[in-house]
A and B are shown apart, each in its own frame.
Chain A
Amino acid sequence: MTDTDRGTQRDRHSAFSLFTQQSLPACKPVLTPEWVIMTFLFIGFIFIPVGLVTLRASHSVVEIVERYDIGCVPEPFRIDKVSYIQDDSIPKNCSLSFKVPKYMKAPIYIYYQLDNYYQNHRRYVKSRSDKQLLHGQNEHGISSCQPVEVNNDRPIIPCGLIAWSLFNDTFTFIRNRAELKVNRKNIAWKSDRGHKFGKNVYPFNFQNGTLIGGGKLNPTIPLSDQEDLIVWMRTSALPSFRKLYGRIEKDLDVDDVVVVHLMNNYNTYSFGGKKKLVLSTTSWLGGKNDFLGLAYVFIGSSSVTIAVVFTLLHLLSPRH
């Protein structure tokens, strides 16, 4: 009602007035039957091929999975596997062998897979100190590492449950009596090595307590080079997970027999977890995973089905 208001009331055709009159040029999509059918068919025609290509990629991957947690416990100990694994006096070496079903092109990735292992448990995930990992000796930043932060009044490096429970089974691969070389470098993420784990931080006071969790670390190697630790410290998303162990940079032929000598140190028996060894090639998409391809095909074909059903109903029922 003031003069300025009046001024704005008068000018009508500016862009601003289109805005205030709520009549901006707009696109008003409507789901007409034609559009519906087109859209669903379009989704179908995109998804099914994508799914098929994905499936193909997944099928091109050769994957060998060997479970060893039970097989590596000698027969007499199988009743009480927990006391077997906790008894340091019993040697833990074990070997298994398998035949390569298909030609595997290098690089062949070696994973260990744990099941029913809650690396994503809140208590577990929190129990680390990014500060300490990067900067080393620091008494203040380690309160988050409870309950594994100090031992004998001296801080543990690396502290926390995750580091403490480091996976410590080891594998050596033999083909035709010759050892297959396993490259264990560059298995961790580059940014982790470069920016999360300090180059001048060395393990200290680690696994010196009364209760020893998992693997030990060589105190002369800086954390940024302890790739096993770095891989382990990237906590998994789900209770069943794989972690990279190394790479075999030689091709494996069909029917090659690979013998694995392994040290079965890690205790998964007390919580009923499985341990598996996985050898896998990769495609452009990654590992062997049919799910994505199947899901694509499923979504695509349901979309086509909907389109067909819709079309039929549309044609059969007259518009009122």
Chain B
Amino acid sequence: MARIRKRSIQLSKLCSFACCRSSSQDEHAQIGQKGYSRVVYCNEPDSQEQIRLRYRGNYVSTTKYTAVNFLPKSLFEQFRRVANIYFLVVACVSFSPLAPYSAPSIILPLVVVIGATMAKEGVEDWRRNLQDIEANNRKVEVYDKSSCSFRQTKWKDLRVGDLVKVCKDEYFPADLLLLSSSYEDVVCYVETMNLDGETNLKLKHALNVTSFYSSAESLKEFRAVIKCEDPNEHLYSFIGTLYFDCQQYSLSPQQILLRDSKLKNTEYIFGVVIFTGHDTKVMQNATDPPSKRTKIERRMDRIIYVLFSTLILVSFIGSLFFGIETNNDLSGGNYTRWYLRPDKTTVFFDPRRPAVAAFLHCLTGLMLYGYLIPISLYVSIEICKVLQSIFINQDQAMYDEEMDRPAHARTSNLNEELGQVHTILSDKTGTLTCNSMEFVKCSIAGTLYGRGMTEVEIALARKRGEQLTEQAPIDASESKKSFKGFNFRDEHIMDGKWVSEPQRDVIQKFFRVLATCHTAVPEVMGPDEIMYEAESPDEAAFVIAAREVGFEFFARNQTSIKLRELDPTSGIRVDRVYELLHVLEFSSARKRMSVIVKNPENQLLLLAKGADSVIFERLSKEGRAYEERTKEHIEKYSEAGLRTMAVAYRELDNDEYKTWEQEFLKAKTSVSADRDVLMDELACQIERDLILLGATAVEDKLQKGVPGCIDKLARAGIGIWVLTGDKRGTAINIGYACSLLRHGMKQIVITLELPEILAQEKEGDKEAIAEASLNSIKLQILKAKSQVTEESSTEFGLIIDGKSLTYAMDKNLVNSFMDLAMRCATVICCRSSPKQKAVITRLVKSVTGRTTLAIGDGANDVGMLQEADIGVGISGVEGMQAVMASDFAIAQFRFLERLLLVHGHWCYRRISMMICYFFYKNITFGFTLFWFEAYTSFSGQPAYNDWYMSCYNVFFTSLPVIALGVFDQDVSARLCLKHPLLYQEGVRNILFNWPRILGWMFNGLLSSIIIYFLTTNSITGPAFRKDGQVADYSVLGVTMYTCVVWTVNCQMALSINYFTWIQHLFIWGSIAFWYIFLVVYGSIPPTLSTTAYKVLVEACAPSILYWLTTLLVVIAALLPLLSYRAFQIRFQPMEHDRIQIQRRRPESTEYDATQRRLSESSEARTSSELPSEVRIRIDNLKASSKRKN
């Protein structure tokens, strides 16, 4: 499972909506042609023909590297980064006399940095390798023809054509063709959790012709040839033909058992291996997730380029002066600086060819000032991000106890982007709502049943300001036995009371439909306990409702459904068997499902349920008795945020059925490409003249804490879009329920359900409709825009449906539409298709240029999640597809609040501070080298010992930065949540804007100037000790370096706000380590330590001047930042400064009180309006950010 999670399954291949069936060619006819060339000789893996085909074995390797290619490949990966290439080139050139320092001292840090990254890669890959070994060595029983029995074989030794036996609860080792199973009707149940995360069981059944081979003996004779499609990644399609006994049989996905899915509820199956190893569908599906980069990283790259330019500029200036100085060495035929022996010089210092010398010196400069580019930046950021994600994963406040699911950062490289989210695009079902459906109400024969109010109704009532009557919401205490999926209370129906209702026939039929028209599988857990495995929670809710009312569905097989019903006349529970003739399955296009059954009275019935619109248009004249009332009820239900479904039936005429069935069976077994179309048409033929029974209402419960969370996110100034497939009414109501739409907010509705459009639609001229629709949408958008501009003080909520959206996306309109949408606080797109969701996401991303976050839980959200800058998957009930396509997975929507406002904010702050600081420290260091150069006539002599320099990035300054990047908190988690406005710092990117970055760089420059000039003037010249010794090159180097180490580490201490023992240890430890290093390095023999020999012990430590200079320089270098911070915090505080000070001030109680009142009011939800002051501030922020754009 863990292995699967690492991969992401590509969206289009999984989504039920996907255009899998796009090609309408006759696919079966293509067998044997290009793309359909695979041939499997069943039970003859050793035959010449099979071996000649050379299909791959079943060995799988998911690793990125092998033992052989690890080194070259991972090195290649490393050097794809431009900074690393630079350092590699520098390392190579460092062996030449051009180098200002010794080669090992530049190679060591490079090796450390590259080694650390490679080690990380290696460890990750080793883990994958272990999983591969485990999978490859699993055992499976393979048929051995010679002994007529099965023997254990490792998975990796499996070959195409092998016959295998898979037992209950085992995984399939490869893609198999199902031959026979322990069931007589050759079915088996399969759990595909590892493929698509769906936990429900799927039914597979073998061809009848192969059902005979159900024992080891009989298999000996089995010979067949399969010709089928080539390996591909489509999980839900398979095209092939079985040549058996001189006959052709077409194969469908129904007979295919996929690798990594599991056999359930079936003793054993026999199968033929078709695809092995990397040819299997699941392996074909394994692709790397789309790599997303954060805005900060992209900007960081630009900064690196800026630094490169600075580097080149500085080197150029240096070489210019060097050229001049070198030229001056030869003046008028005399050598001036004779001590340099210009008469006997090399090309690098030749005064006769100063231009060449200057050019070569420029290369030296590029190496020397290379310290401007932080070598360890990338690796440090990577380390920090990995640790940050560990914190996200470990956060108890984002851990769902009920489901036992912690938050999971699936990619670690988007952490800081979480702090910059501008717009959230959210799915509704399963994200805002639980997707645990509860059957709450129904309308049967025009009568309403089911009492109690849904959460949405309560919210609506509040919105209207009605007093809540005694109709309190149904609480758990009232229901003695409460079932998941059932929350229906009505004394007229429950406990068999329906018998005495006037319309009891209709009620009976109604619940019979619910109990039979489905594809659920019962699982008898105990004498009175039956669980249902259903494809959707709605369906489970119906079956459970039927059971609770007294129509207990308890067994099903291929041909029959058994119910235990209450006989209304006798009052006894009797078992009734319905012969199941056909199932016309549900699809999103059909929006309905129906079954054809023969009841015990030998009546042929078609039982149907489906979307009201679809069912109503298929009613017979007689069947419309309750239409009006039911419609009314459905309207009411959807207002209350309930999902509705109409229920109808039809009695079939025997002859009609017979003729229809023949055609249907023909269509079903046909192998032409339009089979599905044909079947749909035939289904349409029989699904007509229905008689309406009533409608059901299922509540899609809001997830815990959703309104509060949305409220917080809105206060943080994040725009929220809801993209849902629901009806407009439902969507608006859910909007109110979860405070997306607030009291006092004006609604702008853009729709095509206008009389004139509807009238045109009746006429049916498609072009005219399109044109009229487009114009209408255009008008509506323009009108709305002027309205929004006029009333700039009110908040607006935009509601648009999917159909209108297609027109609004027209390229002439899209800009004004997006403009309108961006000005609204909330946007709800209802009736939108999954594809539209992805398109909208892309549009929002490209139009605003800001960070978008998509959150969803189902397969239909995959496109949206991958399209958005950040995809957050809800690891809920609906399966794992969304999670596998996501960057972060959380168990509940409400955790988003913490993920963004706390972790997002922290990570954003940490990473941006960290990068700024990195540049600061390297500029400080690099420029001290440059100033020193100016005093060596730019000869390229570094101010420091080689090894001081190479340890700078790796040892003396790296750990504090990492501590900053991992642990720093400007304000605590509690305060982050209390002051959501703080989040705007990330959205407006004020911690990583150019002024700030350049400010830090300038600070670095300033520090370097202060360090260099104060140090040189204090130390050099006269004696620096009582014993009359003067400071030489090595003493100056040590003193300056000491000041640099102190300064950059203390700057760090100044700019972080959060000191735990870790920060103290790292910061002060780094400084202490410098002294320790100096002592140790200084005590090794002078031929190795050169200028560092005993420099601290003998020269510097006894000198009071050395210590006094350190103090002076460090304080002087800190003063600019300290004073800037002091004034800025006091007179122009940023949001986090304000909060920090408030926390400190005792007199802030008053402010706190208002804050508390505000938060209380929002929690209590008595007033769903945003407090005006908060709104004004958000508006100001938005306005200023707009100006910046």
Contacts and interface: CB of A to CB of B under 8 A. Distances in A.
Interface in B378-399: 390-391, 394-397, 399
Contacts of B1031: 237
Given A12-B396, A33-B1130, A313-B1131, A280 B1022 contact: yes
Interface in B883-928: 906
Given A107-B1028, A196-B1086, A247-B1028, A237 B1022 contact: no
Contacts of B1025: 282, 286
B935 A189 contact: no
Given A9-B406, A161-B340, A24 B1062 contact: yes
Contact of A189 (B906, B1018, B1098): B1098
B1105 A134 contact: no
A122 B100 contact: yes
B1029 A244 contact: yes
B1020 A237 contact: yes
Contacts of B346: 146-147
Contact of A122 (B939, B1032, B1034, B1131): B939
A236 to B, nearest CB: 6
Given A30-B1144, A237-B1033, A271-B337, A120 B941 contact: yes
A284 B1059 contact: no
B1108 A54 contact: yes
Interface stretch (B83-91, B283-291, B1114-1122): B1114-1122
B1024 interface: yes
A310 B939 CA distance: 45
B936 A22 contact: no
Contact of B1018 (A63, A190, A195, A291): A291
Interface in A187-218: 189-191, 195-196, 211, 213-214
A287 B1087 contact: no
Interface string B1011-1039: 00010111111111111111111111100
A289 B1018 contact: yes
B1125 interface: yes
B112 interface: no
Contacts of B1032: 234-237, 241
A8 B399 CA distance: 12
Interface in A226-267: 234-244, 247, 267
A118 interface: yes
A238 B1028 contact: no
B1022 A287 contact: yes
Contact of B334 (A30, A82, A118, A240): A82
Contact of A24 (B940, B1020, B1023, B1061): B1061
A31 B1086 contact: no
Given A29-B1059, A271-B338, A292-B1105, A211 B1021 contact: no
A131 B1090 CA distance: 10
Contact of B1036 (A147, A211, A237, A244): A237
Contacts of B1024: 286-287
A61 B1105 CA distance: 15
Nearest to B1023: A287
Given A130-B1086, A284-B1104, A242 B396 contact: no
A13 B1035 CA distance: 51
A296 B1127 CA distance: 23
Best-surrounded residue of A31, A82, A111, A285 (most CB of chain B within 10 A) = A31
A256 B1094 CA distance: 40
A1 B937 contact: no
A22 B1130 contact: no
Given A33-B1130, A196-B1086, A284 B936 contact: no
Contacts, number: 262
A174 B384 CA distance: 70
B126 interface: no
A243 B1021 CA distance: 9
A293 B1090 CA distance: 32
A121 B937 contact: yes
A120 B1060 contact: no
Contact of A130 (B1020, B1090, B1112, B1116): B1090
B1018 A280 contact: no
A43 interface: yes
B1150 interface: no
Contacts of B906: 22
A282 B340 contact: no
A295 B1116 contact: yes
B1023 A282 contact: yes
A165 B1021 contact: no
Interface residues on B, range: 35 or more
A295 B1014 contact: yes
B524 interface: no
A32 B1147 CA distance: 14
Contact of B1123 (A8, A82, A107, A306): A306
Nearest to A135: B1087
Interface string A50-72: 10001000000101000000000
Contacts of A24: 1060-1062
A244 B1022 CA distance: 10
A124 interface: yes
Interface in B1112-1145: 1112, 1115-1116, 1119, 1122-1123, 1125-1127, 1129-1131, 1140-1141, 1143-1145
B404 A27 contact: no
A21 interface: yes
A109 B1023 contact: yes
B345 interface: yes
Contacts of B399: 9
A9 B400 CA distance: 10
A153 interface: no
Contact of A125 (B341, B395, B941): B941
A291 B935 contact: no
Contacts of A295: 1014, 1017-1018, 1112, 1116
A123 B348 CA distance: 9
Contact of A147 (B345, B972, B1023): B345
Interface string B550-580: 0000000000000000000000000000000
B1105 A286 contact: yes
B1057 A30 contact: yes
Contacts of A165: 338-339
Interface in B696-716: none
A168 interface: no
B1011 to A, nearest CB: 13
Contact of A32 (B1016, B1037, B1144): B1144
A105 interface: no
B199 interface: no
B336 A271 contact: yes
B343 interface: yes
B1119 A303 contact: yes
Interface in A20-38: 20-33, 36
A121 B1021 contact: no
Contact of B1057 (A28, A280, A303): A28
Contact of A286 (B395, B1058, B1103, B1112): B1103
A121 B939 CA distance: 6
Given A271-B338, A282-B1025, 5 more contacts: A21-B394, A109-B1023, A121-B937, A130-B1086, A234-B1033
21 contacts: A1-B404, A26-B1059, A40-B1123, A47-B1115, A121-B337, A124-B339, A147-B345, A147-B346, A191-B1086, A195-B1094, A213-B339, A238-B935, A239-B936, A240-B1021, A241-B1032, A270-B335, A280-B1028, A286-B1022, A286-B1023, A299-B1115, A310-B1127
Closest 3 pairs between A and B when the two form their complex, measured CB to CB: A287-B1022, A287-B1023, A237-B1036
Interface of A: 1, 5-6, 8-9, 12, 17, 20-33, 36, 39-40, 43, 47, 50, 54, 61, 63, 82, 107, 109, 111, 117-125, 130-131, 134, 146-148, 161, 164-165, 189-191, 195-196, 211, 213-214, 234-244, 247, 267, 270-272, 280, 282-289, 291-292, 295-296, 299, 302-303, 306, 310, 313-314, 317
